Structure 1
């Protein structure tokens, strides 16, 4: 890789100088001091792997480079630091996260011990705990850190920070070294930049493709809503119309126009949540208007029919067991409630997938925001238990790629430059008081100690 070649050439220029400095420090009693944490953080803002000069015996330059390339190619906010065994441990994770200012997952190898912490927006406490437990006792630093990174890249949410590809120097590279390698950087700069941006482009293309597939379904929803408006055939000046009816009708019209406008402006799947929220709100306004005109009691505000939101607001919760799944209560329209009571199948919303027509909950991750707009407020997880979409939406990586869909995972997404604005509980515990190692690491990756 050109990017890897550039970093390697720069580091080769630095190594002799570092070796001389290290030799001078060895020869001077009391001269050794731990690398300042701000320098470690500066290096991690430029590259995902930092190896302290006093810890190079643990992880060679070539192995560190290969590990960094793996993380950068995956485009995930995973940071690895290899520090000497006697490095100060008090508040180490919290202070490193503050100095770095980047949301992500941080793994630290300290001598022969290892632990990790993460912003909960990219990886849950339990997931970090599991990752750390899985690699403890994995052998030497190279094996352990590669295992950790491989597992982490499959689970962590978000994207790599833009500072890894902004063209700045890397591991605190001196100006002289940059000048020396200027010709190489100039020759390979375009190619290196293109390579580093490959995964981000691919992700953006996948998001655009998902949005276009989703657009077909959302347009069907908006069209169906517009047809409902036409069928109602309400005229604000008709006999018997009052201000409440006119307000309902205006609300429905506004929701229809808002849905069209929001969908036209959508650039990623998570933008669709606002569209389906508008459609759901407009449909309820129509149901309220119909009840007023017919002299019926006003409907209770309920979520739409689970099987197909185009059926309109639900009227009751019914027991339903999907094929091969667990029984759950779902909101249903009157027609589907009757079908279920008669032992018949409900009319389920199916959409086109590469495997043919499938229910929306088995059609792919982009339908999370679509369903979240209809079934927000915490109801959706219970409805989707055991489905493909439900399993996806329960992961932080899904939230980072498609939005939470329901609820709010909170925080910044991985790779965001959030500075000191983060939950310190995510990074506290463990190192404080010298508890590093011996299996007593604040619960092996748990946050806040003792969880």
Structure 2
């Protein structure tokens, strides 16, 4: 992340380089080739704004720098590309998103035409269409792009990619190498500073992860104790290959859960840990059935009240205090308790209000529960609870990851997904062979002079 002084220095160096580039381009009419999107993507991974040298008359380097500063200071995943009028536009935004590999909102001005597209986790297709419609009539590039960015920053979810604080501003004006040489020759340097809002967000993420770490470490320990109590030996009499495979799978799941938790840096990373634990416990259930010569169990979610109870036996009706009845997966022990009119044994976690059931704790427990229950099952289980209500808010996916039944593919704004994203969730863009192409076309399309 650049200091204001460094930004000013970059701006003062880039302006003359950009002017030189423009003169050279003007002296070579017809020499411009289509911009390589991989180069645009490389610049956007370092910063939010890219201006092609052949489009420098659209946005000056100083204006581009100011636009980039605005986006970076807001800490939002908004990307802007300014390209010459002869740039091919078919699938442009989709291809640019794929090349950049970062979840976010992408806007592009090609000549005097403008459009945008976004991942659904940061902005809905309708919101993108409305945003584009509101700025498309502007003829002045600077005014249009600033209007686009100002409106986007008020509505887009997620945070800026971490690479922006590690690399450049993304304002690529053909003199980038020359700028680097000048900086090196002059002995200039910059210290990476984390913006206040990014620091606050990261602190919240760390605090949430530390709360989760306590709970997940308890889960991993409990699963390890189950393995110790198992008293299974691969070479024991009666053991067959299927039993040995179940046992090995359970051991692998235990090791994987520990490894994944050690490397977790965000709350949403915990989902993979609890998925591994759930998978390992099912393997132990299969192993127990084989050893006792019982039919193999049906693959079911873990007990809702405490996933450490293992796979559920059946679904039963349960009414939370002050809530409405719902069907939840229960283990045999909790099923018996409910049948006798007793309370189930519920997993409680530490909160600011003391020990509470996990579904009455903070939003960070969504990934923990999502790994155990996953898919569309979890929302139905949590309807009417504090955690369920938090997970249903638009900002939840941006802060704690998606993929728990409330939409999204698990990548928040600013996350690096590479090409691993659902193109059907990348909404907006030009229709009729324009930027988005095909199914990625905006709802309103162009009037008159559109592609």
> What TM-score do the two structures reach when normalised by structure 1?
0.69
Residue of structure 2 equivalent to 1:254: 251
Structure 1 residues 27-426: aligned runs within 5 Å: 31=29, 36-38=34-36, 43-50=43-50, 52-56=55-59, 64-73=64-73, 75-82=75-82, 89-97=89-97, 104-109=104-109, 114-119=114-119, 123=122, 127-134=124-131, 136-137=133-134, 140-141=143-144, 142-152=146-156, 155-156=157-158, 159-160=160-161, 162=163, 165-166=166-167, 170-172=171-173, 174=175, 175-182=177-184, 186-189=187-190, 191=191, 193-195=192-194, 206-225=204-223, 242-243=238-239, 250=247, 254=251, 258=255, 261-262=258-259, 265-268=262-265, 269-284=267-282, 287=285, 299-322=297-320, 328-340=326-338, 345-376=343-374, 378-385=376-383, 387=385, 389-390=387-388, 392=391, 398=397, 402=401, 404=403, 409=409, 414=414, 416=416, 418=418, 426=426
CA distance in 2, matches of 1:45, 1:289: 48
CA distance in 1, matches of 2:404, 2:429: 32
1:190-232 Cα distance to aligned partner (Å, 9 max, x none): x2x2347x877766655544333223222333444455567x6
The Cα RMSD (Å) is 5.1
SS of 1:162's equivalent in the other structure is: helix
State the number of aligned residues. Answer: 423
Do the aligned residues in 1 keep the contact of 2:108 with 2:114 (CA within 8 Å)? yes
Residue of structure 1 equivalent to 2:448: none
Do the aligned residues in 2 keep the contact of 1:400 with 1:413 (CA within 8 Å)? no
> What TM-score do the two structures reach when normalised by structure 2?
0.69
The worse-fitting range, judged by mean Cα deviation, of 367-376 and 106-115 is 106-115
Do the aligned residues in 1 keep the contact of 2:34 with 2:86 (CA within 8 Å)? no
CA distance in 2, matches of 1:220, 1:97: 40
Give structure 2 stretches of 5+ with no counterpart.
446-451
Structure 1 residues 5-20: aligned runs within 5 Å: 5-16=5-16, 18=18
SS of 1:214's equivalent in the other structure is: helix
Give structure 1 stretches of 5+ with no counterpart.
446-451
CA distance in 2, matches of 1:15, 1:212: 46
CA distance in 2, matches of 1:428, 1:144: 14
CA distance in 1, matches of 2:422, 2:260: 34
